[in-house]
Structure 1
Amino acid sequence: MTKPLSIMVNTGATPEVRFETSGHTAMPIAWFRSREQLDQEIQVILSGRVTKLNRIISFAPTRHIYGYVFAHHLPSYINVKVTEAWRNMLDVPKLKGNEHLLIVATPGCWRIIWEMARYTSPKQWIVLHSGGLLPKLCQPWIEYLLKQGARVIEILGSTETGAIATREANTDYTKPWQLVSDVELAGDYSSGTSRLSISSPRIGRRFDLVVAPHTWTLPDLVDVMPDRRHFTYVGRESRFVKVDGRRCNLELIELRIRTLESIADVACIARRSAVRGEHYDIYLVVRPDSYIGNDLISCIKMVAKGYHSLMR
């Protein structure tokens, strides 16, 4: 039987850690988590899956909950090398043979993971994928990793809730999600597809609350199975897309771009991206005698928060 990765209590630590929503849906909102909650985040994801670890490679920045939990919080307890690959997404991290790796992945980094796997055996790898849907482009790469003995674990969660459910990637891409051990469904799902509502001791404390809520409802739509521990993911109720962990409100983006005098109309269309899993396109109607100038470029940069691929 696989033993969980042992976690020791650090009594001299800061009581709470601050995380913020990405700010694409509205103003960024601060959520606070206790170190006990962060410890439990590690346990519900890695317990029974990791027995040995000597290096962590994170493509998620430390402002991202899983980037912080696995590339900052976890290394504060165990002696492990950390590579912050998110700081330069053009470089392929240098590897040694037979390393016991934990890779914290986001949708935009899978080409780099594939390049890593081409030069060394991924047999001892565990890849945690979060921040959006698995891109279709990476499916053959994942199948290669699985054949070599690696494990790929998808995490469904949010800044507000932490991990809600996981599933191990395999060749069946319709495999249902399973709630992690300390999460329960809070909604009534007897009538079919419904918004995902959960109860969990790891829900964060919003900045304007004295205590954290015990339940939370997300914009994600699910079909729940009779055991209430598994569900299939249907989509989102609203016009939200999640790009590398950043939730983007397409209605809000349209509203901001429409404030520009040179724009007669705008439409943001959600797309499935083979590279990022989810993305969106912006279509513009420019007023006569106007042109696409720096005001539009600045506006899109503001709402897109650094997604320079939009500026093509």
Structure 2
Amino acid sequence: MTETVARTAQGPVGGREEIRLDTSGSTGAARPWFRLPHQMEREVELIGAHLVGPVDRVINYAPPHHLFGALFGQWLPRLADVPVHQAWTDPFEPPSVSRGERVLVVCIPMAWELLRRAWPALEGAHSIVALHSSATPPHAAHELVRRAAPLLRAHEILGSTETGGIGHRPLAPVGSGTDPWRAFPDVTFVRPADAPAGGAEELVIRGPRLARPEHGSRPPAQWATGDLVEFTAPRAFRLIGRSGSLIKVNGIKVHLARVDEQLNSRLPRAECVALPLPDDSLAGEGYAVFWSCPKKGVGVADIRAALRDFPSPSRIVELADVPRTPTGKPDRKALLATL
């Protein structure tokens, strides 16, 4: 979900108290959006019923001034009347659970390695459900899901500040990034009547959890997410990429989300991010791959080999670490500043 700053604000909608959420990812200026308490409650109840089930304790690694952390690190514990360990305040303090407890863990990418290290302290739980949002799960997430099943089951949530949760899928033991997303039941799709089967189209949705923009008196009737998808069933789709991540390199279309998928699948030990370079003077449009591999064993030749099915990147940039926003998304501005 989009990085957000949450605070209660009095909005102009009939004097009802609203929750202000400012989008502030790695690009663009922050813009405020407003949600009503019943929308927050509805989202917690919906995702709780579909993915989580009964909970006795919450371990929250997502800062509650972001939407994901606010929903599952504040609203869910309050509605369910269960204790919450705000692990985001001191991520390196090992969490603890009582034997037989049903535990929800709210994860952003950095949480998975910490959770893996702390796992012996959690093995006495009755069950552990992990929710992941805001960025692609790291290799440690897939490794822990593979090792800790069936005690642990995990789900990815696709959504944004503007929309709330749109869809979900199980977090698989092997990270392919190509598994389809299934829409939550109160989300409907707005599609052209002549949309070709199997073709790419922008994901446009309607639903009761859309947020109100700063200069509107009510939420929009529908929202264009900017995501390009391929529908695999009436309620399921695969993400192809962002509408802005489709480029042409020497006349060949390249979806950078698929470049990321290929790299993460073939080089699971490395962190890789592909970004467009529209000013490439040779290819017209091009892209750069930024990568980091703390454990070594991966080099530029491996990246080029992993991308043999794609036009070659214009730049391959090795970094000590991939810079990320507080919610774990690659920091686009910081990455491009390294060029």
Could you tell me the TM-score, scaled by structure 1's length?
A: 0.71
Match of 1:133 among 102, 111, 136: 136
Would the aligned equivalents of 1:105 and 1:127 in 2 still touch at CA under 8 Å?
A: yes
Secondary structure in 2 aligned to 1:153? strand
For CA contacts below 8 A with separation 6 or more, give which structure has more relative contact order: 1
Which position in structure 1 is the counterpart of 2:250? Answer: none
Deviation at 1:81, TM superposition (A): 0.8
Would the aligned equivalents of 1:23 and 1:29 in 2 still touch at CA under 8 Å?
A: no
Deviation at 1:82, TM superposition (A): 1.0
Quote the sequence identity (%). 29
Asked if residue 208 in structure 1 is aligned to residue 215 in structure 2, the reply is yes
Tell me, in whole angstroms, the C-alpha distance in 1 between the residues paired with 2:186 and 2:292. Answer: 32
Asked if residue 151 in structure 1 is aligned to residue 153 in structure 2, the reply is yes
Secondary structure in 2 aligned to 1:98? coil
Deviation at 1:207, TM superposition (A): 0.9
Tell me, in whole angstroms, the C-alpha distance in 2 between the residues paired with 1:158 and 1:152. Answer: 19
Tell me, in whole angstroms, the C-alpha distance in 2 between the residues paired with 1:157 and 1:304. Answer: 18
Tell me, in whole angstroms, the C-alpha distance in 2 between the residues paired with 1:20 and 1:251. Answer: 26
Deviation at 1:133, TM superposition (A): 1.4
What amino acid is aligned across from residue 32 of structure 1 in structure 2? F
Which position in structure 1 is the counterpart of 2:120? Answer: 118
> 5+ unaligned residues in a row in structure 2: which ranges?
1-15, 246-255, 261-272, 280-285, 295-314, 318-329
Asked if residue 231 in structure 1 is aligned to residue 237 in structure 2, the reply is yes
Could you tell me the TM-score, scaled by structure 2's length?
A: 0.65
Map of 1:54-203 to 2, 5 A cutoff?
54-121=56-123, 123-145=126-148, 147-171=149-173, 173=176, 174-188=178-192, 189-190=195-196, 192-203=199-210
Pair 215,55 (structure 1): closer, same or farther in 2 beyond 3 Å: same
Tell me, in whole angstroms, the C-alpha distance in 1 between the residues paired with 2:293 and 2:242. Answer: 19
- Paired positions, count: 256
Tell me, in whole angstroms, the C-alpha distance in 2 between the residues paired with 1:68 and 1:42. Answer: 10
Tell me, in whole angstroms, the C-alpha distance in 2 between the residues paired with 1:62 and 1:273. Answer: 29
Tell me, in whole angstroms, the C-alpha distance in 2 between the residues paired with 1:28 and 1:144. Answer: 39
Tell me, in whole angstroms, the C-alpha distance in 1 between the residues paired with 2:70 and 2:150. Answer: 28
Would the aligned equivalents of 1:136 and 1:274 in 2 still touch at CA under 8 Å?
A: no
Tell me, in whole angstroms, the C-alpha distance in 2 between the residues paired with 1:141 and 1:26. Answer: 34
Secondary structure in 2 aligned to 1:62? coil
Secondary structure in 2 aligned to 1:47? helix
Would the aligned equivalents of 1:135 and 1:273 in 2 still touch at CA under 8 Å?
A: no
Deviation at 1:20, TM superposition (A): 1.0
What amino acid is aligned across from residue 138 of structure 2 in structure 1? P
Would the aligned equivalents of 2:44 and 2:75 in 1 still touch at CA under 8 Å?
A: no
Deviation at 1:272, TM superposition (A): 7.2
Would the aligned equivalents of 2:276 and 2:288 in 1 still touch at CA under 8 Å?
A: no
Which position in structure 2 is the counterpart of 1:297? Answer: none
Deviation at 1:268, TM superposition (A): 8.6
Tell me, in whole angstroms, the C-alpha distance in 1 between the residues paired with 2:75 and 2:215. Answer: 25
Tell me, in whole angstroms, the C-alpha distance in 1 between the residues paired with 2:276 and 2:36. Answer: 34
Which position in structure 2 is the counterpart of 1:288? Answer: none
What amino acid is aligned across from residue 240 of structure 2 in structure 1? V
Tell me, in whole angstroms, the C-alpha distance in 2 between the residues paired with 1:38 and 1:272. Answer: 37
Deviation at 1:23, TM superposition (A): 4.6
Which position in structure 1 is the counterpart of 2:264? Answer: none
Tell me, in whole angstroms, the C-alpha distance in 1 between the residues paired with 2:276 and 2:23. Answer: 17
What amino acid is aligned across from residue 235 of structure 1 in structure 2? G
Tell me, in whole angstroms, the C-alpha distance in 2 between the residues paired with 1:175 and 1:97. Answer: 34
Pair 237,49 (structure 1): closer, same or farther in 2 beyond 3 Å: closer
Tell me, in whole angstroms, the C-alpha distance in 2 between the residues paired with 1:307 and 1:237. Answer: 21
Would the aligned equivalents of 1:19 and 1:159 in 2 still touch at CA under 8 Å?
A: yes
Could you report, residue by residue, the CA deviation over 1:250-299 in whole angstroms, capped at 9, with x for unpaired residues?
789x99xxxxxxxxxxx994557789xxxxx996xxxxxxxxxxxxxxxx
What amino acid is aligned across from residue 130 of structure 1 in structure 2? S
